[in-house]
Chains A and B, each alone.
Chain A
Amino acid sequence: MKKIYELTAFEIKEKIANKELTSEEVVTAIFDRIEETDGEIGSFVSLRKDKALAEARIIDEKVKNGEQLGALAGIPVAIKDNMVSIGEPSQSASKILEGYEGIYDATVVQKLKDAGAIIIGKTNMDEFAMGSTTTTSIYEKTTKNPWDLERVPGGSSGGAATSVAAEQCFISLGSDTGGSIRQPASFCGVVGLKPTYGRISRYGLMAFSSSLDQIGPFTKTVKDSALALNILAGSDDYDSTVEDVEVPNYLDYLTGDIKGMKIGVPKEYFIEGLNSGVKKVVDEALEVFKSLGAEIVEISLPHTKYAAPTYYVLAPAEASSNLARFDGVRYGHRTKNPKNIDELYTKSRSEGFGDEVKRRIMIGTYVLSAGFFDAYFKKAQKVRRLIKNDFDRAFEQVDIIFTPVTPGPAFRLDAKKTPVELYLEDIFTIPANLAGIPGISIPAGETDGLPVGIQLLGRAFGEKDILKAGDAFEKAIKERV
């Protein structure tokens, strides 16, 4: 029989509802699991065991009294450290927010609570979600890949990915600005969904790049991803960028039948630098889709090679503007004994931000400065349109798009990579953020004992299509094992 922590969110939900398990048993099992594994893995930066157990007992009381249960009732969920929640540490893994405690709930946190989910703690990340390794966190802990403790978990939502991969919770929330959900999901062998821009409220998410950021779930299965999206999606008065588009029941689309679905394969994503082990897994995955009756169509997204450079103009520009609020006045780190207000700002920021954040603030400030605005920022916004147009044209031909997630599997923690080499980690994930379309990373196989994911991209608000295809794929490969 499976251990409690080995179950999926959906299985937990059903077992609590039909009284095979109590939420208290589930939460206890999860905290035991965390105690046993987190010394090595390092997923969590704060935990709320006593509160979680108390909340679990309330759910169990409701089950006992036959009260109606929320869709995530009793399920332990972890949250990335850049989402605020009342009375809990929320630090974005930055020294500048040391000791910061949420004074309101992010909309996603509120929605999880309303659905009966049990929030167990906050997970480690790259500082202000800038990075692809989770090594720029200011916390004195290194999050490690559960598949190989000498390798990175990916980033920036590394802790969120490992918390699900190491079976320390059933759903975790990450944020994805250029691939920060999909890349760590691929590196850690879990499902990671970045929804359409405007599908999930960003209220309460500490902003990195407001036109690109999107919150999404990590789960063990595509079905769990659909279950989580059902709760997280939808309009919010506190975030005017959330679109009033109906939220379907995503679970209804998981029929396993994708006969006749047109899947586009962009030739620009199969570059020379693609690791041979990754390529093999990706090629085999494509064969699975063919065997399920999908029609594979070669497509072209001609501006793909410009996506990462575009991102590395726009994201730092928005970041430099968003992070201007950290000035040591209203919250966050304040330097000791500043002589005047200028010194208060400059020293507080210089002491509080880490190197990668400073690098991006500097680039952002430069590309937005008078004289360079048109040459860099406006230029990048124009290229962004060309990239979006590529996708719009592709989706006239196909239902979804299939690509690798990353050029290689998880690399070693001691690998010495320059900032630009690290930026290349995101070349296959960034285009979806620029175009605002949804993308999902799904485990597809292994190379040298490390997991490899595939990425499915959909039309704006076409999450149902990628979930449907992803679920069919997942079922097909499980049958083969």
Chain B
Amino acid sequence: MSLTREEVLSVAKLARLEFNEEEIQRFQADLNNILDYIDVLGEINTDNVEPLVQVNESGVKLREDVIRKSLTAEEAMKNAPASQDGALIVPKVVGE
């Protein structure tokens, strides 16, 4: 499997990343080396193997649904790049 320049750009778009020309070439080469490396998995027959999603398969652990202390709006906003009156501020998107 080898990624073309267009495929690299398409994956970057999905990942919400952008690259300059030099980076595109470098990432294309790196990604193809990594894909070559992981392609070895194709050697193994896994037809009747169940995928392992979580190693501890004891099922979902639930706890009582009780109200506890949580962060205040002020605390939650503490690291926000821009906020006002308990709300996050982002660029205007209406009408786009």
A interface residues (Cβ-Cβ under 8 A, vs B): 99-101, 103-104, 197-198, 211, 237, 240-244, 303, 305-306, 309-310, 312-313, 320, 324, 327-334, 338-347, 349-350, 353, 358-359, 361-363, 365-366, 369, 376, 378-386, 388, 418-420, 423, 434-436, 460
Contact = CB atoms under 8 A, between A and B. Distances in A.
Given A334-B82, A378-B51, A385-B51, A419 B33 contact: yes
Interface string B1-26: 00100001001101111110000000
B44 A306 contact: yes
Contacts of A331: 79-81
Contacts of A101: 78-79
B31 A362 contact: yes
Nearest to A199: B56
14 contacts: A103-B76, A197-B55, A211-B54, A309-B41, A330-B88, A344-B91, A349-B16, A349-B17, A353-B17, A366-B35, A369-B14, A379-B46, A381-B53, A419-B34
Interface residues of B, number: 51
Contacts of A99: 79
Contacts of A240: 60-63
Given A346-B17, A358-B17, A361-B17, A340 B91 contact: yes
Interface string B52-96: 111110101111000000010001101111100000101111001
Nearest to A310: B41
A337 to B, nearest CB: 9
Contacts, number: 165
Contact of B56 (A104, A197, A363, A382): A197
B52 A382 contact: yes
Nearest to A342: B16
B33 to A, nearest CB: 5
A338 B44 CA distance: 47
A346 B16 contact: yes
A407 to B, nearest CB: 16
Closest 5 CB pairs of A and B: A436-B55, A381-B51, A334-B81, A331-B79, A382-B46
A16 to B, nearest CB: 32
B16 A327 contact: yes
B61 A420 contact: no
Contacts of A303: 44
Contacts of A309: 37-41
Contacts of A383: 41, 44, 46, 49
Interface-centre pick from B3, B50, B52, B76 (highest chain A CB count, 10 A)? B52
Contact of A243 (B17, B40, B56): B56
Given A243-B58, A386-B44, A341 B50 contact: no
Contacts of B46: 379, 382-383, 386
Contacts of B41: 306, 309-310, 313, 376, 379-380, 383
B47 to A, nearest CB: 9
Contacts of A361: 15, 17
Nearest to A328: B81
A98 to B, nearest CB: 10
A388 B35 CA distance: 23
Contacts of A381: 51-53
Nearest to B3: A366
Contacts of A382: 46, 49-52
B38 A359 contact: no
A101 B77 CA distance: 11
